[in-house]
């Protein structure tokens, strides 16, 4: 059976001491979360090492928010998948809409980054999702399908064991507007079908698909009750340990 996951994307928030405090609070409360629900935190890169120490011995796993599209060398400011792995990360988020929008992240680059992340032993949380114009033009199914095909169709069924998908409608991220449970479910079901078409139904059934976009304690239960929604990628609400854990208790 596929794994349920609640992952917190801290974005560009928390200094190192603040990150350690938040991570310790999440780790302490993580004992309340059932064994079948995975917890992941994704602090800024500067905090990965200290947060790794802070969550040691708990069930909380560690993720970066991005990785480089090269292995090493003259790429000032970049951080490779191997470096991320070496500080204790098990995961990296890739293709977040903020990176697609502000940093020129393309599907082509995401193929390279996903490959490098998998080679470094990292799991990948791949984000897809439509923007408001695309939603209003009724293109949301097509946009998500294309993003999935462009990136994941370059990988194998074996690779898919290490890949989690996050459906994050851009219009719902940090806006307070959440997709309704029905809107989210129909895209999740579509994504699962697109995965099944390439990798078969068993792989599709085993793939964890998270919802992200203003998910909070008050709406998580309804979202997670949908049959194709396997948890959440949480932004704002992940910055409060109580809210984050409350969300993880919403299955
Ligand atoms: C995100 O950025 O991944 C996200 C889902 O943000 P928020 O929960 O704040 O909308």
pLDDT tens digits, one per residue of 96-149: 999 999 999 999 999 999 999 999 999 999 999 999 999 999 999 999 999 999
| Ligand 1 atom closest to the CA of 236, numbered from 1 | 9
pLDDT of 178 over the 90 cut: no
Residue ranges making up the domain that contains 90: 4-248
- As a whole number of angstroms, the distance between CA 170 and CA 139 comes to 13
Domains held by the chain: number: 1
Once rounded to an integer, what is the mean pLDDT over residues 71-97? 98
Tokens of 173: 């991220």
- Best of 40, 66, 94, 213 for a ligand 1 pocket test (most atoms within 8 Å of beta carbon): 213
Contact 236 CB / ligand 1 (< 6 Å): yes
Does pLDDT of 197 surpass 90?
yes
Show Cβ contacts of residue 158 under 8 Å, excluding neighbours closer than 6 positions: none
Look up the CATH number of the domain holding residue 12.
Answer: 3.20.20.70
The Å distance, Cα 200 to ligand 1 centre, comes to 30
Q: What percent of the chain has pLDDT over 90?
A: 98
Testing ligand 1's pocket by substitution, the residue of 5, 7, 11, 247 carrying the most ligand atoms inside 8 A of its CB is: 11
C-alpha of 158 from chain center: 19
The verdict on the CB of residue 243 being under 6 Å from ligand 1 is no
What span, in angstroms and rounded, lies between the C-alpha atoms of 31 and 58?
Answer: 8
The pLDDT assigned to 106 comes to: 98
Output the pTM of the full model. 0.98
pLDDT above 90: residue 176: no
Instruction: State how far the Cα of 82 lies from the Cα of 3, in Å rounded to an integer.
Output: 25
pLDDT at residue 71, rounded to an integer: 98
Instruction: Please provide the average confidence, as pLDDT, over all residues in the chain.
Output: 97
Q: Name the band, by pLDDT with cuts 50, 70 and 90, for residue 13.
A: very high
**Ligand 1 contacts CB of residue 200 (under 6 A):** no
232 touches ligand 1 (CB under 6 Å) = no
How confident is the model at residue 204, as a pLDDT?
98
Q: Averaged over 180-199, what is the pLDDT?
A: 98
Write the secondary structure of 48-104 as one string of H (helix), E (strand) and C (coil): HHHHHHHCCCCCEEEEECCCCCCCCCCCCCCCCHHHHHHCCCCEEEECCHHHHHHCC
96 assigned to active site: yes
| Section 165-188 average pLDDT | 95
Encode the chain in three state secondary structure. CCCEEEEEECCCCCCHHHHHHHHHHHHHHHHHCCCCEEEEEECCHHHHHHHHHHCCCCCEEEEECCCCCCCCCCCCCCCCHHHHHHCCCCEEEECCHHHHHHCCCCHHHHHHHHHHHHHCCCEEEEEECCCHHHHHCCCHHHHHHHHHHHHHCCCCHHHHCCEEEEECCHHHCCCCCCCCHHHHHHHHHHHHHHHHHHHCHHHHHHCCEEEECCCCHHHHHHHHCCCCCCEEEECHHHHCHHHHHHHHCCC
The percentage of residues in the chain with a pLDDT greater than 70, rounded to a whole number, is: 100
pLDDT of 205 > 90? The answer is yes
Spacing, Cα 185 to ligand 1 middle (Å): 17
Residue identified by tokens 């139904």 is: 201
Q: What is the pLDDT of residue 132?
A: 94
Q: Provide mean pLDDT across the span 171-196.
A: 95
Query: pLDDT tens, 41-63?
Result: 999 999 999 999 999 999 999 99
Residue 250: partners with Cβ closer than 8 Å, 6 or more residues away: 217, 220, 221, 224
Comparing C-alpha atoms, which of 239, 251, 241, 243 is closest to residue 211? 251
Supply the residue whose CA is at minimum distance from atom 1 of ligand 1. 235
Determine the pLDDT at residue 177: 87
168 in active site? yes
């Amino acid at each position: 059976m596929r794994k349920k996951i609640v992952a917190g994307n801290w974005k560009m928030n928390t200094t190192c001491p603040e990150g350690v405090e938040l991570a310790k609070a999440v780790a302490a409360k993580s004992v309340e979360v059932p064994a079948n629900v995975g917890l992941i935190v994704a602090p800024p890169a500067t905090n990965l090492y200290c947060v790794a120490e802070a969550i040691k011995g708990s069930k909380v796993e560690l993720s970066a928010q991005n990785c480089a599209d090269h292995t090493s060398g003259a790429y000032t400011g970049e951080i490779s998948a191997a470096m991320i792995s070496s500080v204790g990360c098990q995961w990296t988020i890739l293709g977040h809409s903020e990176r697609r929008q502000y940093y020129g992240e393309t599907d082509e680059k995401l193929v390279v980054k996903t490959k490098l992340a998998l080679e470094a032993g990292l799991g990948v949380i791949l984000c897809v999702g439509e923007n408001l114009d695309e939603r209003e033009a009724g293109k949301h199914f097509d946009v998500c399908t294309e993003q999935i095909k462009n990136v994941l169709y370059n990988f194998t069924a074996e690779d898919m064991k290490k890949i989690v998908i996050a459906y994050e409608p851009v219009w719902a991220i940090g806006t307070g507007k959440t997709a309704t449970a029905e809107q989210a479910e129909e895209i999740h079901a579509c994504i699962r079908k697109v995965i099944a078409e390439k990798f078969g139904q068993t792989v599709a059934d085993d793939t964890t698909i998270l919802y992200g976009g203003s998910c909070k304690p008050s709406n998580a239960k309804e979202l997670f009750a949908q049959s194709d929604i396997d948890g959440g990628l949480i932004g704002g609400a992940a910055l409060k340990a109580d809210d984050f854990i409350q969300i993880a208790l919403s299955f």
